[in-house]
Structure 1
């Protein structure tokens, strides 16, 4: 099949043979008899056959070309079009042949034709120019046009040939493809933004044949911060170097995968390389990418939420305790007042032997009053007066008060002060209650006797630290976290309000109270109070 330039060469060849044949035939008839011999006639017949053969080839090329073909002279007059032209433009051959470009609606203007002619005169084809043209019915069609020059045997420009390719469908498909690419890019940008800037940690993990995560495929910024590595470090390290296989989080995840669960939500606790322990809730989705099993993990830090929930539960318990305490204290105080009044009358008339019992009853009544006061302080905190207190002196008074009880159990309470201690801004009665409760707990925790150390030191310019260390039976770790909750006590006859009141008082003083203990080795209670 001829190319575009082949079309121009073929037309030029026909033109050359046609003119040569005309000259030869004219010479044959106008010349001498020697020009009409058989040899000359044979030569003319051969050239005529060659011309006819070339003409047939050109006709076949033009007629059967799948794209629209148009041939014009130098004036822009259309000499020939093929069937494909009729289909593309809607014009029939007899409607356009003999007319110029600019006489047909939607074709080139005269100025454009002149510019084209100048360009191709320099033997330069106009290649693959995309244009929009009007059909006979006025509709528009997208075309890719190539225009080539036609030269005769003397290398003279005698015409133009054009091939028009209908690219409407291709252009439409290209627009749709561009639109699809743009949408895909926008969608990718949206998901990438959601992925990168999500508050939750997101991980994409490759799952090995043993169902264990083998490596990180992708991770967002929140996930990098949580583990304390850069993205490049996480993607280059084996998964087991970051999350140990024996960790609770891996064990639960592998168990879900082995059970065939494609999606799951779990809760676990994990210790990060910084030493920070977080309670996590994570959702997993298992799927395949390029014949590889992949796990998408979205992990959320639930530590603060669970702590808040725990505080809320404690608050609800405390509210219930307050209501209960108010009711109990009110019901007890009324009859207690009457009992005290009658006891005073009986004491005045009692014998010496009866007086002994009366004193015991009176002390127990006072103890009941003290308990009801504690109930009332839980239900309705009393107005307090803060002032600068010598905490060392206050603790000495508490030790003096409790030393007889300690001595009976073979316990010695020792006070150590380190350096010159400043005054502490606090409410003396409340702080005295705190130290009484804690020291009484220490004494009761040492049935075999021993030593209780009370140490005071100023660790910085703003806080005073008090440590109360005993050698008692200790407390297990699973029970320490519940200390301070209402109605929770490790003593058989305890009601769980003593420590709760201590925690509340220290909290009101903007301080902290922490408890460390080990079974059979003792307990260390540390109180930190601000100086101002």
Structure 2
């Protein structure tokens, strides 16, 4: 549009110049000078229009160079796997890369010239996250220097991404706000690796503690249990107290056994085994305990035989831990359902579900950690051993729970 207007102005100006100067020549210049003045007028017109076109060409070259530079910059920031964003002094978006636009689901929006709070109107899921960006931007402006923030961005699939965000405020010489450069690096995998390292270190400490303490505990424990049993046989009066002492000694012995299982490096020998039979044996073993709690166990499967490569004893230990937890978490008269099926991707799925008290979100995030348990007398070592067994079988174990509605544990193992 500007080019058409400029061309129109040029034609109009040229016509005014030609007819206007000719009129002035005919009216005010004598005949003896008309030829000389006409030639001067034409030369002047050529010079003026030449200068006009010269500067137009220079401006066009500068504009083309600017567009090429902008294109290169756009290509550069769009190729980055980090979130890159440039804002002006008022917090309005100037430029952002495709990664950031897709992250906030605003790649379909004309974002330039809009603030975060205005862009929040276009994406309901990330509205709160965008509004929070304005708060952290203001904090960076107030600090007046490079600021770093760790921001957790939720994803539609229920997971989250953690970003290490750097904000660089820019100012004019008089101190007024000029712009803000924002770079957010995805450090989700780094944080997950740090968490795994933390758990590994904790496991190492538990292993060392177990190895040094477990054997020292078991020797006097055996003696104590023997003496209590002897006293129980000879003293009829305090049978109730002796039974409590024996139960507590058995509980200590059980904890020591779990500690030894963690401490002792085990060589796993895989063999072909029937997973259906392993589960049936475990259910048969725990059916008495379930009956004592008035709990019904329901076992559903489409296979009478399902052969997989595994360490059978370890899988028995895994299923005992998980099913026993389900029984203990269930209310009287409740149901624990166990299903076994083969998946299409050469895996088997075992789902153990109860309708008990459930697990809070806070506890769910820390499940499997040593010495962290929702039970009053729990140690957290049982589930820790379970996680270790699943890991050694290259499988996965996922807990889903809602308080007062029950817990679902899904175990997937490769065939």
Above 0.5 in TM-score?
Answer: yes
Give the aligned partner of residue 217 of structure 1: 94
Aligned CA distance change for structure 1 residues 295 and 333 (closer, same or farther; 3 Å): same
Equivalent residue, structure 2, for 1:509: 393
1:271 aligns with 2:151: no
Q: For 1:343-364, what per-residue CA distance to the aligned partner results, in whole angstroms no more than 9, with x for missing partners?
A: 99x69xx67979x999998887
Q: Deviations over 1:281-331 (max 9, x none)?
A: 212233469x98633211111211111111111111111111111122121
Q: Which of 82, 91, 96 pairs up with 1:200?
A: 82
Residue equivalent to 1:314:
199
Q: Is the 8 A contact 2:105 2:123 kept in 1?
A: no
CA distance in 2, matches of 1:256, 1:451: 53
Contact 2:276 2:303 in 1 (8 A): no
Is 1:381 the counterpart of 2:265 in the alignment?
yes
Q: Is the 8 A contact 1:244 1:250 kept in 2?
A: no
Specify whether residues 217 and 366 from structure 1 end up closer, same or farther in structure 2 by C-alpha distance, changes over 3 A only.
Answer: same
TM-superposed CA distance for 1:206, in Å, is: 4.4
C-alpha distance 500-463 of structure 1, shift in aligned 2 (>3 A): same
**Cα distance in 2 for residues equivalent to 1:192 and 1:380:** 57
1:229 CA drift (Å): 6.7
Alignment counterpart, residue 410 of structure 1, candidates 281, 294, 312 = 294
Q: Distance in 1 between matches of 2:361 and 2:128?
A: 20
CA–CA distance in 2 between the matches of 1:298 and 1:498?
43
Among candidates 381, 385, 396, match of residue 497 of structure 1: 381
Q: What's 1:280 paired with?
A: 163
TM-score (norm 2): 0.69
Any stretches of 5+ residues in structure 1 without a counterpart? 1-183
Q: 1:417 to 1:254 in 2, by over 3 A?
A: same
Measured in 1, the distance between the counterparts of 2:157 and 2:245 equals 59
Instruction: Give the secondary-structure state (helix, strand or coil) at the position aligned to 1:504.
Output: helix
DSSP-derived class of the 1:430 partner:
helix
> Whole-Å Cα distance in 1 between the matches of residues 208 and 215 of structure 2?
11
Q: Which of these residues, 207, 210, 219, is aligned with residue 334 of structure 1?
A: 219
In 2, distance between residues paired with 1:186 and 1:235? 19
> Is the Cα contact below 8 Å between 2:206 and 2:263 reproduced in 1?
yes
Partner in structure 1 of residue 13 of structure 2: none
Change (3 A) 1:360 1:224: closer
Gaps of 5+ in 2: 1-65
Distance 1:186 1:444, change over 3 A: same
Q: Where does residue 348 of structure 2 map in the other structure?
A: 464
Q: Is the 8 A contact 1:340 1:365 kept in 2?
A: yes
Specify which structure has the higher proportion of helix: 2
Contact 2:277 2:305 in 1 (8 A): no
Indicate the residue corresponding to 1:72 in structure 2.
Answer: none
Q: Give how far 1:530 is off.
A: 0.5
Q: Distance in 2 between matches of 1:244 and 1:401?
A: 48
Cα distance between partner residues in 1 of 2:124 and 2:170: 21
Q: Report the count of equivalent residues.
A: 342
| Structure 2 counterpart SS, 1:396 | helix
Aligned to 1:453: 337
For residues 451 and 253 of structure 1, what CA distance do their matches in structure 2 show?
A: 50
Q: Quick check: 492-501 or 414-423, which moved more?
A: 414-423
